[in-house]
């Protein structure tokens, strides 16, 4: 299978993966459906700009998703209920019910288990949801990605529990705590009216202020019984290594360790997601932005873990060759990327060293 722009799909092509948008309505379309003009136009009308398809160029390509369809569906439903409760709490000046956070903790544990069970390096980390569904899907995908990054970073760079000795393990409990923090990170964004969240026009000063305060609003929403670690993740996921970002001026090692991981996971997933104010960036462009941010926007150790586990050119995505031809990444090997291109009526597979790595 391969990833394509929905607008480019010709009639007769089969959909390779379910398209899921709403939390509880089931897939918008299921894998295996043969697309025709009316279905393609319906997808575009629903904001679905990219899809996975099955054809001869993508034959045998099957990158692994961190979360299965069942877990993703249950997570979407749980996050949908959380957002309803959070909106009500914000409107009434109240805090989230601690039982809600405990329930989400169980979901975070399942996300951590799913990530830890993944044995493939050929990963599909892209969420193709339309812009109106961004907040729900982003919470889930950034949670899974943060767990993936943390597992690598903790076992390579090491970590400390408080003032204890340096450790090189990645306990499930710690990974689940980070995953839970990511599920909660953007609750403060719900203070903005839906019309503003779904508007592509420039924001005014008041709404920018609300956006810059959403980490504080989200942390406050968790109440007084929530751990300082969770609050630190929520409050610090937009703080930058150099001291920039918001809402605080912390920098470098003064930033909570999990918030540093959260910052990278949040930024990559946000860049590769469809938004109202801009289309999704390609995985390669988002990867390059994270890489360039090492030591400036992001903890360089976390970026090193990111480089290890997130492919710059994921399988199934397009790659423009040096001669201008467009190919599809079929996988990676020790010599470079395996890229398929059409040559008349046949398909040729090349080994390519991307220009940025040459």
Q: How many domains does the chain have?
A: 3
82 and 40 together in one domain: no
Q: What is the per-residue pLDDT for 169? A: 96
pTM: 0.95
Q: What is the per-residue pLDDT for 204? A: 76
Q: Look at residue 102 and give its three-state secondary structure.
A: helix
Among residues 33, 62, 91, which one ends one of the domains?
62
Among residues 272, 288, 309, which one ends one of the domains?
309
Report residue 6 as tokens.
């929905």
Q: Please state the rounded mean pLDDT for residues 256-285.
A: 95
Question: Is the predicted pLDDT of residue 116 greater than 80, yes or no?
Answer: yes
Question: Is the predicted pLDDT of residue 24 greater than 70, yes or no?
Answer: no
Residues 69-109: tens digit of each pLDDT: 899 999 999 999 999 999 999 999 999 999 999 999 999 99
105 and 172 together in one domain: yes
Report residue 38 as tokens.
């009316």
Q: Please state the rounded mean pLDDT for residues 255-265.
A: 97
pLDDT, mean over the chain: 92
Q: What is the per-residue pLDDT for 146? A: 98
Question: What number of other Cβ atoms are within 10 A of residue 165's Cβ?
Answer: 7
Q: Where are the alpha helices (DSSP H) in 222-348?
A: 228-236, 257-271, 283-292, 300-309
Q: What is the per-residue pLDDT for 356? A: 67
Q: What is the domain-level CATH number for residue 5?
A: 3.90.105.10
Q: What is the per-residue pLDDT for 335? A: 85
49 and 168 together in one domain: no
d(CA 284, CA 356) in angstroms, rounded, equals: 10
17 and 127 together in one domain: no
Among residues 15, 47, 62, which one ends one of the domains?
62
Q: Which residue has the higher pLDDT, 270 or 333?
A: 270
Q: What is the per-residue pLDDT for 205? A: 81
**DSSP codes of every residue in 130-186:** -GGGHHHHHHHHHHHHHHHHHHHHHHHT-B-STTS--B----HHHHHHHHHHHHHTT
Q: What is the per-residue pLDDT for 23? A: 75
102 and 235 together in one domain: yes
Q: Please state the rounded mean pLDDT for residues 319-338.
A: 91
Q: What is the per-residue pLDDT for 293? A: 98
81 and 168 together in one domain: yes
72 and 50 together in one domain: no
d(CA 240, CA 299) in angstroms, rounded, equals: 8
Q: What is the per-residue pLDDT for 25? A: 63
Report residue 265 as tokens.
């996971």
Q: Please state the rounded mean pLDDT for residues 36-50.
A: 94
97 and 227 together in one domain: yes
d(CA 266, CA 146) in angstroms, rounded, equals: 8
302 and 321 together in one domain: no
34 and 109 together in one domain: no
Which residue range(s) make up the domain with 7?
A: 1-62
Report the percentage of the chain scoring pLDDT > 70: 97
Q: Which residue has the higher pLDDT, 209 or 284?
A: 284
């Amino acid at each position: 299978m391969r990833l394509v722009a929905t607008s480019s799909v010709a009639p007769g092509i089969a959909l390779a993966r379910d398209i899921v948008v709403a939390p509880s309505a089931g897939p918008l379309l299921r894998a295996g459906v043969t697309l025709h003009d009316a279905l393609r136009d319906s997808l575009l009308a629903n904001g679905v700009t990219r899809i996975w398809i099955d054809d001869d160029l993508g034959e045998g390509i099957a990158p692994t998703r961190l979360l299965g369809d069942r877990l993703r569906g249950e997570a979407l439903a749980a996050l949908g209920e959380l957002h309803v409760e959070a909106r009500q709490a914000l409107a009434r000046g109240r805090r989230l019910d601690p039982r809600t956070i405990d329930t989400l903790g169980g979901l975070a544990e399942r996300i951590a288990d799913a990530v830890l069970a993944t044995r493939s390096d050929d990963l599909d980390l892209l969420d193709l949801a339309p812009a109106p569904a961004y907040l729900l899907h982003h919470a889930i995908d950034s949670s899974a990605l943060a767990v993936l990054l943390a597992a690598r970073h903790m076992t390579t760079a090491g970590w400390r529990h408080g003032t204890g000795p340096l450790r090189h393990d990645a306990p499930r409990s710690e990974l689940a705590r980070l995953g839970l923090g990511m599920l909660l990170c953007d609750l403060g964004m719900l203070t903005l009216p839906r019309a503003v969240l779904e508007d592509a026009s420039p924001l005014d000063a008041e709404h920018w202020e609300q956006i810059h305060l959403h980490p504080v609003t989200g942390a406050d929403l968790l109440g007084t019984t929530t751990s300082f670690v969770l609050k630190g993740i929520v409050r610090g996921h937009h703080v930058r290594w150099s001291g920039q970002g918001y809402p605080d001026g912390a920098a470098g090692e003064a930033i909570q360790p999990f918030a540093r991981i959260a910052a990278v996971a949040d930024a990559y997933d946000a860049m590769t997601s469809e938004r109202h104010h801009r289309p999704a960036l390609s995985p390669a462009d988002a990867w390059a932005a994270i890489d360039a941010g090492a030591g400036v926007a992001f903890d360089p150790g976390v970026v090193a873990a990111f480089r290890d586990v997130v492919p710059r050119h994921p399988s199934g995505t397009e790659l423009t060759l040096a001669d201008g031809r467009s190919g599809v990444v079929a996988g990676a090997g020790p010599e470079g990327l395996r890229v398929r291109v059409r040559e008349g009526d046949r398909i040729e597979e090349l080994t390519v060293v991307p220009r940025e790595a040459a």
